[in-house]
C-alpha cells in the first residue's frame, strides 16, 4: 500500500517502531525464581462478564487483559508496547496500519488473523452486543459512533483487513493516542467460530478460546476464577506464571485476613484508615502507586445555588487539600488543583493561581467572593455521596471546612451508589461526590467530564469557547499544537469552577514481597499477570 | 394429612404471585436502574441495553414476559452477571447456602434443645447460668463481631482452619461459618427451649405424672418434651430461612459464594431478574419450611392433628 504520510508522521511511525522495549517480563539479574509459579490475586468484585467487548469494570478488565491481547498492550510500567501487532504506522492523519505478528495463535491453536481483529471491533460496536463502551471508544473509529447507534451497518466501521496479517484502522479525526486506545481489550480480537458456536455461553470454561497469555480453566461465580498459562501464546516462553487465581472478595477487611492467613497474595485495596498501620506491619508488602484518576466534587451549575461562579470558586478555595491528603485519607494520595493529574498525557498540568496561597489569604478572598455574590453565612447547601466510610470521612472534612471558614452549612446526604449516579446524571443535586479513573492516557478522556453535551458531564456546565478549542485540537495532527490547545481549554473550563478537584488517587495494597514485576509506575493499574513472577522465598 | 398438605401447597400459588407482583413493582420503582453507572451510558447505548433485556417494552408486557418465563422455569438473564442466567447463579449459590445454613440449623437444634433442657432441669444452677450466658452472648454480640474473632483465633493465631473462601465443599472451609451461625442460633433455641420447658414442667399434667411416681427422666421425655418443643419448632422456620438465605454477614466475613450476597449485590445493582428470582426462591423456601413446621406441630400435638 502506498504510504502518503506527512513527513512528521512518517518520522513518528519510525520512532514508534524503533522505540519498543523488550516485551517480556524482565527478571532482574540475580533474582531466582520460585519453583512454583502460581499467584492468587484478589480482584475485589465478581466480573460482570469475561466477554472483552462487554467488560466494563476494572475487575473484569484485569481478567480479560490476561485472557486476551489486542493489537497493542501495556508493559509492567504501563507503557504501550506491541501486542498482536509487531509494528504500526500512520499513513495519513486519520489512517493507521498495524502489521500483526504471524506466530500469534488462539488457545485452540488457530492463527490469530486480521479478520479476527476486524470481527472483534465490529462486534464491539454492534448494538446487539450492547457494550457500554461502544460509543465511548466508538467515536474514535470512522463511523464507529454511527454503527453503535444503529445508524450505519457495522461493516462501515473504519477497520479492515488489508491482508491476513495487516489491519487498517481509520479514524474520523486525528487520534494520536490510537495505539494507547487499542490496548483496551474492548477493541481487541475475539474468536468468531467459538462465539458463533456457543452463543452467550462462549465465555464459559471449556468454551472460551482466548489469545492472551492465559486461558480460562475454572469459573465459580463469587468464589474464584482460575487461569492457566496458554501454551499457544506467541510469547509463552517469557510467561512465568503457570496459574493465576482471581478472587472476588469485596470486603476489604476479609481481604486482609485472607492475605494474613496465606490464602491470598494480593490485597486489592486496603481498608480505609489502615494504611499507616499496615505499612508498619508489612513494610515489604505494602505497595502504593499513583493512578491516572481523580477524586472531585461536582457542582450542579444549573441549580440556583451554584449558578454564580464566585460561590463555586469560594467553596473550592477553602478546602485544605494537604490536610485532606495527609490526615483524613492518609493513604498516599496527592492534592490536585486541576483535572490533569500527574502522568496524564495530552495536556500540561495546570493549577489555580491561589493554590499556593496561605490558607488565611484564601479564606479572606473566599469570604469576599461570597459577599459579592450575596451569599450570607448560615446559607445551606446539600452534599450527596454514596454510602462508604471513605467518602463519608472526606465529606465530613469538607463540611467542616465550609462551616468553620465560611459559615456555610452543608447537609450531608448519604445514599446508595445507584441512586447517586442517577441523581448526578439527572442533575438532581447541589453538590455531589464524584471520581474518575482513566480509560486511556490522554487528556480527552478527562475532558469528557466537563465538555459541553458530554454524557459524562455531571456538572451541566458548558464553556463554548473552550469547546471550540477542543474541536480545533481534535482536528489537529500537530501534537504540540494539540497539547497547547487542550491545556488552554482545560484551564478555561476549570476557571469556571464546575467542580472541585481534590485528590489524585493512589492504590494502596498489599502484594507479597515475593511477587516480582509489580511496578509502581503503572498509573493505570493494569498489571498483566504475564509481567509478574514469583521470586524464590 | 395428605389433603391438608396438598391444600397448603395449592395455597402457595396466590401467595407466590402476590409476592412476585409486589416485588416486581418495588424493584422497578426503586430509584436508579441496572444501567446507571459511574460512567453514564449514552442514550443510544442505553437503548441497546434496554432492548437486550426487554426493558423497552411497556411495563405490563415486561411483567407478563417475566411471568411467562417463570412458568417455563426460566428466571431470566442477570443484569449484573451478564454471562450467567439467574438459574445458573441460583444453582451455584444455593448448594453453598443450603449446606452451611442447613447444617448449622440442624446442629443448632440438637445443641440448643439439649442445652435448654439441661438449663430448665437445673434451674438456677451453674449449668443454667452457663446456658443463659451463652444465650445472652449469642444475642448481644453481633455476627460481624464474633465472625472476625473466630477468624483471628482459629485461622490467624492457631492456623487450624482457613480464614475464609470456599473450595468445593471441603469441610475445613465450612467449619467457621457453620460455627458462627450455630452460635447465634443456639442462643435463641436454648433460651426458647429453657423457658418453654420450665413452663410445661409447672403445669398440672406434669404434676400429675410426678404424683404417679414417674421418674423425672420419663416425665420429661414422655410428657414434657413434646409440648415444650412447640415454641422451638415455631422459631425454627424463620431461623432456617435467615441462616440459608440471609446469612449476609457470615458470607461477607468468610467470603462465601452464597445466596445472601447475591441478594444484596442484586439489590444494590438493580439486577431486577436476580432479585426477583431470589425472592421466588425464598418465598418457596419459606412456604415449604412453614409447611414443615405445621406438619411437625401436627405430629407433636394431637389436638392440632384432630382438627
Are A418 and B151 an interchain contact pair (Cβ–Cβ within 8 Å)? no
Collect all residues of chain A within an 8 Å Cβ-Cβ radius of residue B265.
Answer: 46
Residue B3 has pLDDT above 80, yes or no: no
Contact criterion met (CB below 8 Å) for B174 and B243: no
Query: Average pLDDT in the A105-115 region?
Result: 98
Nearest Cα neighbor of A176 from A454, A482, A447 is: A482
Are B31 and A223 an interchain contact pair (Cβ–Cβ within 8 Å)? no
Portion of chain A with pLDDT greater than 70, in percent: 95
Q: What is the mean pLDDT of chain A?
A: 93
Are B83 and A149 an interchain contact pair (Cβ–Cβ within 8 Å)? no
Strands A431-437 and A380-386, by their bridges, are parallel
Residue A7 has pLDDT above 60, yes or no: no
Residue A13 has pLDDT above 50, yes or no: no
Nearest Cα neighbor of A443 from A340, A315, A324 is: A340
Q: A218 CB near a chain B CB, below 8 Å?
A: no
Contact criterion met (CB below 8 Å) for B78 and B84: yes
- Mean pLDDT is lowest, of A184-193, A307-316, B156-165, B237-246, for B237-246
Contact criterion met (CB below 8 Å) for A266 and A512: yes
A220: Cβ contacts below 8 Å, ≥ 6 apart: B92, B166, B257
Contact criterion met (CB below 8 Å) for B230 and B114: no
Are A132 and B41 an interchain contact pair (Cβ–Cβ within 8 Å)? yes
Task: Give the residue from chain A lying closest to B77, CA to CA.
Answer: A200
Task: Give the residue from chain B lying closest to A203, CA to CA.
Answer: B83
Phi first, then psi, for residue A105 (nearest 5°) are: -130, 155
Q: A48 CB near a chain B CB, below 8 Å?
A: yes
How far is A221 from A92, CA to CA, in rounded Å?
Answer: 46
How far is A515 from A498, CA to CA, in rounded Å?
Answer: 42
Contact criterion met (CB below 8 Å) for A113 and A243: no
Which grid cell sits at A501?
478537584
- Mean pLDDT is lowest, of A79-88, A482-491, B85-94, B294-303, for B294-303
Cβ-Cβ contacts under 8 Å between A and B: the total is 147
Are A135 and B82 an interchain contact pair (Cβ–Cβ within 8 Å)? no
How far is B75 from B169, CA to CA, in rounded Å?
Answer: 26
The pLDDT tens digits for A311-362 are: 999 999 999 999 999 999 999 999 999 999 999 999 999 899 999 999 999 9
How far is A316 from A301, CA to CA, in rounded Å?
Answer: 14
Q: A455 CB near a chain B CB, below 8 Å?
A: yes
Helix (H, G, I), strand (E, B) or coil at A374: coil
Residue A492 has pLDDT above 50, yes or no: yes
The model's confidence at residue B49, banded by pLDDT at 50, 70 and 90, is confident
Nearest Cα neighbor of A37 from A253, A229, A232 is: A229
Task: Give the residue from chain B lying closest to A260, CA to CA.
Answer: B156
Collect all residues of chain A within an 8 Å Cβ-Cβ radius of residue B258.
Answer: 222
Residue A15 has pLDDT above 50, yes or no: no
Residue A17 has pLDDT above 50, yes or no: no
The pLDDT tens digits for B267-299 are: 999 999 999 999 989 888 888 888 888 888 888
Collect all residues of chain B within an 8 Å Cβ-Cβ radius of residue A130.
Answer: 45, 48-49, 51-52
Are B45 and A54 an interchain contact pair (Cβ–Cβ within 8 Å)? no
ipTM of the complex, rounded to two decimals = 0.88
The sign of the CA dihedral A321, A446, A23, A268 is positive
| Biggest alpha carbon–alpha carbon distance for chain A | 72
Identify the pLDDT of residue A25.
65
Query: Average pLDDT in the A460-467 region?
Result: 96
The model's confidence at residue A2, banded by pLDDT at 50, 70 and 90, is very low
Are A418 and B31 an interchain contact pair (Cβ–Cβ within 8 Å)? yes
Residue B61 has pLDDT above 60, yes or no: yes
Portion of chain A with pLDDT greater than 90, in percent: 88
Collect all residues of chain A within an 8 Å Cβ-Cβ radius of residue B78.
Answer: none
Which of B43, B83, B253 lies at the smallest CB-CB distance from A49?
A: B83
The model's confidence at residue B137, banded by pLDDT at 50, 70 and 90, is confident
How far is A252 from A422, CA to CA, in rounded Å?
Answer: 26
Identify the pLDDT of residue A329.
94
Nearest-neighbour CA in chain A from B187: distance (Å): 25
In A235-333, beta strands by DSSP E: 243-247, 266-267, 286-299
The model's confidence at residue A24, banded by pLDDT at 50, 70 and 90, is low
What is the torsion angle, in degrees rounded to the nearest 10, for the CA atoms of residue B32, residue B36, residue B42 and residue B46?
-80
Nearest-neighbour CA in chain B from A144: distance (Å): 12
Nearest-neighbour CA in chain B from A294: distance (Å): 13
Which of B32, B36, B48 lies at the smallest CB-CB distance from A127?
A: B48
Query: Average pLDDT in the B246-275 region?
Result: 90
Residues 228-247 of A with CB under 8 A from B: 247
Task: Give the residue from chain B lying closest to A223, CA to CA.
Answer: B257
Amino acid at each position: 500500500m502506498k504510504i502518503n504520510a506527512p513527513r512528521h508522521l512518517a518520522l513518528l511511525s519510525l520512532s514508534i517502531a524503533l522505540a519498543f522495549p523488550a516485551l517480556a517480563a524482565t527478571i532482574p539479574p540475580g533474582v531466582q525464581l520460585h519453583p512454583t509459579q502460581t499467584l492468587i490475586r484478589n480482584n475485589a468484585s465478581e466480573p460482570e462478564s469475561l466477554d472483552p467487548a462487554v467488560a466494563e469494570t476494572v475487575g473484569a478488565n484485569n481478567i480479560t487483559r490476561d485472557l486476551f491481547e489486542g493489537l497493542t498492550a501495556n508493559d509492567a510500567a504501563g507503557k504501550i508496547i506491541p501486542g498482536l501487532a509487531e509494528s504500526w504506522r500512520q499513513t495519513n492523519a486519520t489512517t493507521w496500519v498495524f502489521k500483526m505478528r504471524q506466530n500469534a495463535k488462539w488457545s485452540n491453536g488457530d492463527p490469530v488473523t486480521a479478520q479476527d481483529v476486524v470481527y472483534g471491533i465490529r462486534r464491539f460496536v454492534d448494538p446487539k452486543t450492547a457494550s457500554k463502551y461502544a460509543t465511548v471508544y466508538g467515536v474514535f473509529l470512522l463511523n464507529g459512533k454511527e454503527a453503535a447507534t444503529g445508524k450505519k451497518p457495522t461493516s462501515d466501521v473504519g477497520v479492515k483487513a488489508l491482508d491476513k496479517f495487516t489491519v487498517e484502522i481509520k479514524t474520523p479525526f486525528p487520534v494520536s493516542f490510537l495505539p494507547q486506545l487499542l490496548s483496551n481489550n474492548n477493541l481487541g480480537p475475539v474468536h468468531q467460530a467459538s462465539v458463533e458456536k456457543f452463543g452467550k455461553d462462549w465465555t464459559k470454561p471449556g468454551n472460551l478460546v482466548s489469545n492472551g497469555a492465559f486461558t480460562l480453566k475454572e469459573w465459580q461465580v463469587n468464589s474464584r476464577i482460575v487461569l492457566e498459562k496458554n501454551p499457544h501464546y506467541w510469547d509463552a516462553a517469557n510467561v512465568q506464571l503457570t496459574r493465576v487465581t482471581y478472587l472476588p472478595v469485596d470486603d476489604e477487611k476479609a481481604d486482609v485476613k485472607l492475605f494474613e492467613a496465606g490464602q491470598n497474595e494480593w490485597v486489592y485495596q486496603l481498608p480505609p484508615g489502615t494504611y499507616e498501620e499496615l505499612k508498619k506491619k508489612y513494610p515489604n508488602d505494602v505497595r502504593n502507586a499513583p493512578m491516572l484518576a481523580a477524586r472531585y466534587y461536582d457542582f450542579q451549575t444549573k441549580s440556583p445555588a451554584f449558578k454564580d461562579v464566585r460561590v463555586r470558586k469560594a467553596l473550592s478555595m477553602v478546602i485544605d487539600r494537604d490536610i485532606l491528603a495527609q490526615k483524613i485519607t492518609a493513604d498516599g494520595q496527592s492534592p490536585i488543583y486541576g483535572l490533569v493529574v500527574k502522568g496524564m498525557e495530552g495536556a500540561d498540568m495546570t493549577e489555580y493561581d491561589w493554590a499556593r496561597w496561605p490558607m488565611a489569604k484564601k479564606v479572606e478572598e473566599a469570604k469576599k467572593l461570597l459577599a459579592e455574590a450575596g451569599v450570607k453565612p448560615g446559607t445551606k447547601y446539600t452534599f450527596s455521596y454514596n454510602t462508604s466510610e471513605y467518602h463519608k470521612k472526606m465529606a465530613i472534612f469538607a463540611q467542616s471546612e465550609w462551616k468553620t471558614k465560611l459559615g456555610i452549612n452543608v447537609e450531608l446526604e448519604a445514599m446508595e451508589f445507584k441512586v447517586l449516579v442517577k441523581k448526578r446524571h439527572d442533575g438532581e443535586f447541589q453538590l455531589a461526590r464524584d471520581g474518575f479513573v482513566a480509560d486511556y492516557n490522554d487528556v480527552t478522556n478527562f475532558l469528557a467530564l466537563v465538555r459541553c453535551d458530554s454524557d459524562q458531564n455531571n456538572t451541566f456546565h458548558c464553556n463554548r469557547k473552550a469547546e471550540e478549542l477542543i474541536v480545533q485540537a481534535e482536528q489537529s495532527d500537530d501534537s504540540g499544537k494539540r497539547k497547547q490547545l487542550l491545556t488552554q481549554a482545560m484551564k478555561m473550563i476549570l476557571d469556571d469552577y464546575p467542580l472541585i478537584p481534590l485528590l489524585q488517587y493512589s492504590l494502596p495494597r498489599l502484594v507479597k514481597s515475593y511477587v516480582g514485576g509489580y511496578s509502581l509506575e503503572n498509573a493505570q493499574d493494569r498489571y498483566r499477570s504475564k509481567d509478574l513472577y514469583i521470586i524464590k522465598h | 394429612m395428605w389433603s391438608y398438605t396438598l391444600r397448603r401447597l395449592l395455597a402457595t400459588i396466590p401467595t407466590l404471585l402476590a409476592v412476585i407482583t409486589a416485588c416486581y413493582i418495588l424493584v422497578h420503582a426503586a430509584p436508579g436502574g441496572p444501567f446507571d453507572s459511574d460512567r453514564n451510558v449514552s442514550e443510544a447505548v442505553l437503548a441497546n441495553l434496554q432492548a437486550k433485556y426487554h426493558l423497552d417494552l411497556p411495563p405490563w408486557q415486561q411483567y407478563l414476559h417475566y411471568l411467562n418465563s417463570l412458568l417455563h422455569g426460566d428466571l431470566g438473564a442477570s443484569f449484573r452477571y451478564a454471562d450467567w442466567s439467574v438459574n445458573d447463579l441460583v444453582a451455584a449459590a444455593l448448594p453453598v447456602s443450603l449446606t452451611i445454613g442447613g447444617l448449622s440449623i440442624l446442629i443448632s437444634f440438637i445443641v440448643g434443645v439439649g442445652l435448654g433442657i439441661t438449663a430448665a432441669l437445673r434451674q438456677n444452677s451453674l449449668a443454667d447460668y452457663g446456658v443463659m450466658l451463652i444465650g445472652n452472648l449469642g444475642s448481644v454480640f453481633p455476627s460481624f463481631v464474633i465472625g472476625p474473632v473466630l477468624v483471628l483465633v482459629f485461622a490467624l493465631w492457631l492456623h487450624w482452619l482457613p480464614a475464609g473462601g470456599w473450595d468445593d465443599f471441603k469441610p475445613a472451609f465450612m467449619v467457621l461459618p457453620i460455627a458462627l451461625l450455630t452460635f447465634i442460633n443456639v442462643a435463641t433455641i436454648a433460651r426458647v427451649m429453657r423457658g418453654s420447658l420450665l413452663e410445661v414442667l409447672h403445669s398440672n399434667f406434669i404434676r400429675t405424672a410426678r404424683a404417679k411416681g414417674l421418674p423425672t427422666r420419663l416425665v420429661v421425655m414422655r410428657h414434657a418434651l413434646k409440648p415444650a418443643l412447640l415454641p422451638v419448632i415455631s422459631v425454627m422456620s424463620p431461623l432456617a430461612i435467615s441462616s440459608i438465605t440471609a446469612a449476609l454477614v457470615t458470607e461477607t466475613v468468610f467470603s462465601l459464594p452464597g445466596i445472601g450476597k447475591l441478594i444484596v449485590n442484586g439489590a444494590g445493582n438493580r439486577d431486577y431478574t436476580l432479585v426477583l428470582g431470589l425472592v421466588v426462591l425464598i418465598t418457596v423456601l419459606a412456604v415449604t419450611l412453614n409447611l414443615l413446621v405445621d406438619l411437625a406441630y401436627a405430629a407433636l400435638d394431637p389436638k392440632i392433628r384432630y382438627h
